[in-house]
Amino acid sequence: MTSTDTLTSGTRTFRAVHQTARPQGMPTAEHFAFVEEPLPAVEPGSALVENLLLSVDPYMREAMDSVWELNAPLEGRAVGRVVESRDPALAVGDLVFHRKGWRTHALVSTAEGARALPHHEGVPLSAWLGLLGGTGLSAYVGLTRVAGVRPGDTVFISAAAGGVGSTAGQLARLLGAGRVIGSAGSAAKVAHLVDVLGFDAAFDYHDGPVAEQLAKAAPDGIDVYLDNVGGDHLEAAIASMRPHGRIAWCGAVAQYNSAEPPAAPRNLYDIVEKSIRLEGFLVREHGDAQAEWEEFLVPHIAAGRVVRDETVVEGFDGVVEAFLGMLAGRNTGKMLVRTAAA
C-alpha cells in the first residue's frame, strides 16, 4: 500500500525517516529508520501537504551531530501539494514550499513559514528547491551580498558541480565575471562544468595539489572565491587571491565527516598581507533576499539562459540513499528526491 493509499483509505498514516544514532565520521543507512506514523489532525491555521519533492543538502550532515532530534521526523526543504487545509492562506491544490521534509506528508502552516508558490511560465516545480530555493539563494547571497562580484572579476568556485556551485558558476557569468573557474571531483564533472554550465576552466582536485591546479587555471590570480569546501581549497584560494580580493565562505564539506581539524589553510596571515576580506554566512539569515533573487533569476530560467542542473532520485524509499550519495559526491547539480507525481 502506498502512502497516498493509506491517506485515503481511512487509516490516515504517513511515512517518515528518523535518525536513530549519531554518526562518527561518514553516516550510513544504519543511522536512519523508515517509520510509519498516524497523521496529526488538521487543526485551525494548519494544512496537510502531500510532499512531491524533497531536498537533501550538505548542511544536514552537521545537523546529524547535534541539531536533529533522534527518533523523530527530520527537517528539510520540501515542496508539496495541499490536500486538506484549515489555513486561510493555503487552499487545497496549492503547491507549497516548507521545511518538513524526510516524510511523505506534513502538517504545515504559514505561521511557521510555509508559503504557496507562485506560478511562472517556464519555471518547473523542482526549481523551487534548487535554483530558486535555499541552494540558489546561497549562491546569490554569497556572490552579491558577501563577495560583491564585479564585472571583469575572476571567480573561483569549489564543489562547483554541486547544487550551490553549479548555480554560482552560472550566476557569476550573469553578473559579468570575466573568468569563472571551478573545482570538482571527477573528470566527467569537470567536463560538465565547462561544456554544459559554461565555466571557462575547471579541474579535478584529485589530479594534484589544489593550489598548483588553481594557479595554472588562473595565472593572473582570482578576485572572488565562493568556498563550499574549506581546507586545501581555501588555502589555495588565499594563495591565488589578488590584493583586496573577497572570499564568501558558504560550507566546508571536506571536514563534515572528519573528527580531526583540517591541516589547511596554513596561510591565513596572507589575508592581512593582501587586504583580503573573508566572510562566512548562513543563508537562513538572508531570507529577505528571496524576493530579489526570484525577480533576478525567473526571467533567465524562463528564457533558457540558466541550466537547471539536477540529479533526481525516484521514490520516497530512496531518500537516505540520495542523502548519502550527495555526501559522497555522486550527484551533479542539486540532489532531489521525487516522492510523488506533480
Q: What is the pLDDT of residues 180-196, one digit of tens each?
A: 999 999 999 999 999 99
State whether 72 and 172 are in the same domain.
no
State whether 216 and 276 are in the same domain.
yes
Residue 304 lies in a domain: no
pLDDT score recorded for residue 7: 56
Inter-residue contact 120 to 302 (CB < 8 Å): yes
Q: Which long-range contacts (CB under 8 A, 24 or more apart) does 326-329 make?
A: 326/56, 326/57, 326/58, 326/162, 327/26, 327/27, 327/58, 327/61, 327/253, 327/256, 327/257, 328/26, 329/162, 329/185, 329/186
Question: What CATH number did the domain enclosing 49 receive?
Answer: 3.90.180.10
Inter-residue contact 300 to 174 (CB < 8 Å): yes
pLDDT score recorded for residue 258: 61
Q: Which helix (H) or strand (E) holds 149?
A: none
State whether 274 and 223 are in the same domain.
yes
Residue 290 lies in a domain: no
State whether 91 and 17 are in the same domain.
yes
User: In whole angstroms, how far apart are CA 220 and each of 121, 154, 182?
Assistant: 42, 9, 16
Question: What CATH number did the domain enclosing 268 receive?
Answer: 3.40.50.720
Residue 303 lies in a domain: no
State whether 41 and 125 are in the same domain.
yes
State whether 243 and 157 are in the same domain.
yes
pLDDT score recorded for residue 5: 44
State whether 102 and 198 are in the same domain.
no
State whether 112 and 53 are in the same domain.
yes
- Spans in the chain with pLDDT lower than 50: 1-6, 8-10
Residue 161 lies in a domain: yes
Strands 179-184 and 154-157: what pairing?
parallel
End-to-end CA distance of the chain: 19
Domain interval for residue 68: 3-130+309-338
pLDDT score recorded for residue 322: 98
- The set of residues, in sequence order, having a beta carbon less than 8 Å from that of 13 and lying 6+ positions away, is 3, 6, 7, 36, 37, 38, 39
Burial 232-260 (b: 16+ CB within 10 A, else e): bbbbbbbbbbbeebbbbbbbbbbebeeee
Q: How many domains, in total, are found in the chain? A: 2
What is the sign of the dihedral through the CA atoms of 298, 299, 304 and 306? negative
CA distance 218 to 179: 9
Q: Which helix (H) or strand (E) holds 83?
A: strand 78-85
State whether 18 and 109 are in the same domain.
yes
pLDDT score recorded for residue 9: 42
